[in-house]
Amino acid sequence: MPIIAGAIARIAAAAQADGLTVDRILDVGSGPGVAAVALAAAFPGASAVAVDASAPLLDLVHDRAVAHGVGERVHTEVADLEQPLDALGAADIVWASMVLHHVASPVDTLRQLHDVLRPGGLLAIVEFGPGARGSLPTGFDVGNDGFVDRHRAAVTAAVTEHLPPGAMTLDWPALLADAGFAVVDSGELALSVPAPLDDTARRYVLQGLQMSQRMAVDRLGADDLATLAALASEDDAHSVLRRDDLTLEVDRSFFLARRD
């Protein structure tokens, strides 16, 4: 995923500039460990631990790590980021992508991650960006007029309702400062892939649309739900897997902070 690669390049540059020795990396809220595996590949002298509250997601990590040749250096640990984290052990880099907005008190979790890091260690945060939202690009011509906007509004409403209040607009530089970190790099990580998408990108869009079906069920009318079902189907003639006019836009915010 180019967004992860772009972020890791910035972490590696900061680590090199600081002369940081990277022995141990934590990917917290790792899901299936895509970043843990990429980080282990980028830092060949380090072990990486994928940490998540969901054991079934962590079960997917080992095969991915083996497939990428880093099976011996990638481990897993079930942990809740809202509980004490001392048992995770010390780390030189902590990666937290799209997870900190899930916790009730991000600053408390940031303070814990601060204490997990060795002095000089780096915390990388990937969070909602200011731009592109939703699986379908703006202006994508499908279904009844305005379908994409209604679908995006339905997903945004569902996500906002599911997350703690204000979670989508948190002030990360202020929270990091409160938790004792110094921000050393920040910026937008944007990905824009033109049509026609390759199979990997189409499947990424398909998965997002399939997840959105549950969120949209009470928020869209019958015509829009039928349009969504066709787009999110594996074999419908209108599936995103079959459309050559689909583009992919992803936008994330990136913050890199040091424990001094």
Which of 80, 171, 234, 245 is in the footprint of ligand SAM by CB under 6 A?
80
Binding window for ligand SAM (CB under 6 A); candidates: 8-16, 96-104, 111-119, 200-208:
96-104
Query: What's the min distance (Å) between Cβ of 69 and ligand SAM?
Result: 21
Task: Return the number of the residue (58 or 220) whose C-beta is nearest ligand SAM.
Answer: 58
Q: Kindly state whether residue 251 participates in binding ligand SAM, applying the rule CB under 6 A.
A: no
Task: Return the number of the residue (70 or 225) whose C-beta is nearest ligand SAM.
Answer: 70
Give the count of beta carbons closer than 10 Å to the beta carbon of residue 22.
22
Checking DSSP bridges between strand 248-259 and strand 181-193, what pairing results, if any?
A: antiparallel
Distance CA 79, CA 183 (A): 26
Distance CA 145, CA 217 (A): 19
Task: Return the number of the residue (30 or 227) whose C-beta is nearest ligand SAM.
Answer: 30
CA pseudo-torsion sign 148, 149, 154, 158: positive
Q: At what angle do helices 199-216 and 222-231 cross, to 10 degrees?
A: 150
Q: Kindly state whether residue 53 participates in binding ligand SAM, applying the rule CB under 6 A.
A: yes
Query: What's the min distance (Å) between Cβ of 198 and ligand SAM?
Result: 20
Q: Kindly state whether residue 59 participates in binding ligand SAM, applying the rule CB under 6 A.
A: no
Q: Kindly state whether residue 138 participates in binding ligand SAM, applying the rule CB under 6 A.
A: no
Binders of ligand SAM among residues 101 to 120 (CB under 6 A) are: 102-103
Task: Return the number of the residue (78 or 182) whose C-beta is nearest ligand SAM.
Answer: 78
In 3-state terms, what secondary structure has residue 151? helix
What number of residues does the chain have? 260
Which of 8, 14, 48, 52 is in the footprint of ligand SAM by CB under 6 A?
52
Answer for the pair 172, 125: CB distance below 8 angstroms, yes or no: yes
Give the count of beta carbons closer than 10 Å to the beta carbon of residue 237.
8
In 3-state terms, what secondary structure has residue 162? helix
Nearest CA to 172 out of 223, 97, 90, 239 is that of 97
State how far Cα 38 lies from the chain centre: 13
Binders of ligand SAM among residues 14 to 33 (CB under 6 A) are: 29-31
Q: Kindly state whether residue 99 participates in binding ligand SAM, applying the rule CB under 6 A.
A: yes
Query: What's the min distance (Å) between Cβ of 52 and ligand SAM?
Result: 5
Residues that bind ligand SAM (CB under 6 A): 29-31, 52-54, 57, 80-82, 97-99, 102-103
